[in-house]
């Protein structure tokens, strides 16, 4: 009888998950077209500092954007809005990943620049609430997590398209402890969800004249969900006959990214959620670490730009928050500029970041007093960006 009750409780739990996800599937099928930023005035950019080191590095990114977009802000083409309340303390207070009043303000913006937020794990002093990132991606349907990694001197120029709203992360807070000795989590894949991330990857490759798109799965073992993702990828690939499509398993791909003979062959990669999170952190190490890497979370109506790393609460506890590296948030800002139509400003910022972080390295940020503060490093980027010979300086660095 006890076993029967356990199974019935698990079935009821799973039925609730299925109902929610079937409703979501219908929403994906009926989604509207892409927002046209050229028709918006103003483009409203919401600034969310997050918690931990988030406010420190976000403030530096905003400093850079205010310099680059000075004319647009003054003319009313772009408006920055600060949105408070996405701290772990406030989220725990209301026991929601995004407080209702914060979500309401977020939805008044078309674009978001978001600092890292703390996600409690089992054993933390905080209650088990869902990741604010995961919740925001679901609420705003930010289905594509786009993460570029560039190391020009090593021939690395990768861009990862990570599906953002499905896989194990989508249901990470919906697992069930069936008995004290058995726990089960769930992995979700839909064909429409897989199709739109694959198409975005191929469209990007077509736009920037890349010749290869690679899917990364574990479809030889995770046959049903990863199998659907991979089959859908190849169905979409048929629409792009001029682009080579291939696939690799996640375990061997982690090895190939460190293989100096093969890694420069990869260009555009498309992955389910969990594999994408892991692989892009590995890839960021070639660029200087996760502290240097930004990411875009793209949907048809909203877009959010952020660092790929966490909130580093230990740095705050140890009084080192002022030494946090702002490069990740500043690189995310460059991606934001590109997304809303300011490609020349984005290119200018990217060149300054390359010079400061990969080539000249006149200032080093270590996360401790052994290096410069985030404010000093941001000043270095701003000074470099203001150089009238920036492009020739960047080109000379590449040849050196």
Instruction: Give the total residue count for the chain.
Output: 400
pLDDT of residue 292: 75
Share of the chain above pLDDT 70, in %: 100
Task: Count CB atoms within 10 A of the CB of residue 360.
Answer: 14
Contact 264, 74 (CB under 8 A): no
Does the pLDDT of residue 269 top 50, yes or no? yes
Contact 356, 384 (CB under 8 A): yes
Q: Which residue in this structure is represented by tokens 């470099």?
A: 384
Q: What is the mean pLDDT of residues 49-76?
A: 97
223-243: pLDDT as tens digits? 999 999 999 999 999 999 999
Rounded to an integer, what distance in angstroms lies between the CA atom of residue 400 and that of residue 388?
A: 20
178-213: pLDDT as tens digits? 998 999 999 999 999 999 999 999 999 999 999 999
Rounded to an integer, what distance in angstroms lies between the CA atom of residue 250 and that of residue 235?
A: 20
For residue 244, give both structure tokens: 């080579």
Q: What is the pTM of this model?
A: 0.84
8-12, 49-53, 173-177: which range is least confident on average?
A: 173-177
Residue predicted with more confidence, 5 or 252: 252
Q: Which residues have a Cβ under 8 Å from the Cβ of 281 and sit 6 or more positions away?
A: 290, 308
* Helix, strand or coil, per DSSP, at residue 341: coil
pLDDT of residue 1: 45
pLDDT of residue 280: 92
Which residue segments constitute the domains of the chain, with CATH numbers given? 34-142+299-400 (3.40.718.10), 144-294 (3.40.718.10)
> How many angstroms from the chain centroid is the CA of residue 261?
28
80-106: pLDDT as tens digits? 999 999 999 999 999 999 999 999 999
Looking at the chain, list the stretches that DSSP marks H as alpha helix, in order from N- to C-terminal side. Answer: 2-29, 54-68, 70-75, 88-94, 100-106, 132-139, 167-170, 191-207, 225-237, 250-256, 273-287, 313-317, 327-339, 343-354, 374-385, 390-399
Confidence of residue 287 (pLDDT cuts 50, 70, 90): confident
pLDDT of residue 41: 92
For residue 158, give both structure tokens: 């990768």
* Helix, strand or coil, per DSSP, at residue 112: strand
* Helix, strand or coil, per DSSP, at residue 117: coil
Share of the chain above pLDDT 90, in %: 81
- The CA-CA-CA angle for residues 341, 34, 247, to 5°, reads 90
Mean pLDDT, all residues of the chain: 93
Rounded to an integer, what distance in angstroms lies between the CA atom of residue 41 and that of residue 82?
A: 18
Confidence of residue 107 (pLDDT cuts 50, 70, 90): very high
């Amino acid at each position: 009888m006890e076993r029967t009750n356990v199974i019935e409780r698990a079935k009821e739990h799973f039925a609730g998950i299925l109902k929610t996800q079937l409703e979501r599937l219908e929403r994906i099928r009926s989604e509207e077209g892409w927002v046209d930023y050229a028709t918006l005035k103003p483009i409203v950019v919401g600034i969310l500092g997050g918690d931990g080191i988030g406010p420190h590095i976000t403030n530096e990114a905003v400093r850079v954007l205010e310099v680059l977009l000075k004319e647009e802000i003054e003319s009313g083409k772009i408006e920055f809005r600060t949105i408070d309340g996405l701290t772990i303390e406030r989220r725990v207070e209301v026991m929601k990943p995004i407080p209702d009043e914060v979500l309401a303000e977020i939805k008044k913006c078309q674009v978001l620049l978001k600092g890292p937020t703390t996600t409690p794990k089992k054993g933390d002093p905080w209650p088990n609430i869902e990741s604010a990132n995961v919740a925001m991606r679901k609420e705003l349907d930010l289905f594509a997590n786009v993460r570029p990694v560039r190391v020009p001197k090593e021939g690395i120029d990768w861009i990862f398209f990570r599906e953002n709203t499905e896989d194990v992360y989508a249901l990470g807070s919906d697992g069930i402890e069936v008995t004290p000795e058995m726990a089960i989590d769930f992995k979700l894949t839909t064909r429409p969800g897989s199709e739109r991330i694959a198409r975005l990857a191929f469209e990007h490759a077509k736009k920037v004249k890349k010749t290869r798109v690679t899917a990364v799965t574990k479809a030889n073992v995770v046959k049903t969900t990863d199998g659907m993702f991979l089959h859908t990828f190849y169905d979409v690939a048929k629409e792009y006959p001029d682009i080579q499509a291939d696939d690799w398993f996640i375990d061997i791909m982690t090895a190939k990214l460190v293989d100096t003979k093969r890694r420069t062959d990869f260009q555009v990669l498309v992955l389910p959620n969990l594999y994408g999170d892991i692989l892009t952190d590995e890839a960021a190490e070639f660029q200087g670490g996760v502290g240097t890497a930004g990411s875009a979370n793209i949907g048809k109506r909203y877009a959010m730009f952020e660092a790929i790393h966490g909130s580093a609460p230990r740095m705050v506890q140890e009084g080192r928050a002022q030494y946090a590296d702002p490069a990740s948030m500043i690189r995310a800002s460059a991606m934001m500029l590109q997304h809303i139509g300011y490609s020349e400003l984005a290119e200018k910022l990217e060149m300054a970041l390359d010079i400061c972080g990969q080539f000249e390295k006149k200032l080093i940020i270590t996360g401790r007093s052994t290096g410069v503060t985030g404010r000093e490093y941001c000043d270095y980027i701003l000074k470099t960006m203001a150089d009238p010979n920036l492009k020739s300086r960047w080109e000379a660095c590449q040849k050196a």
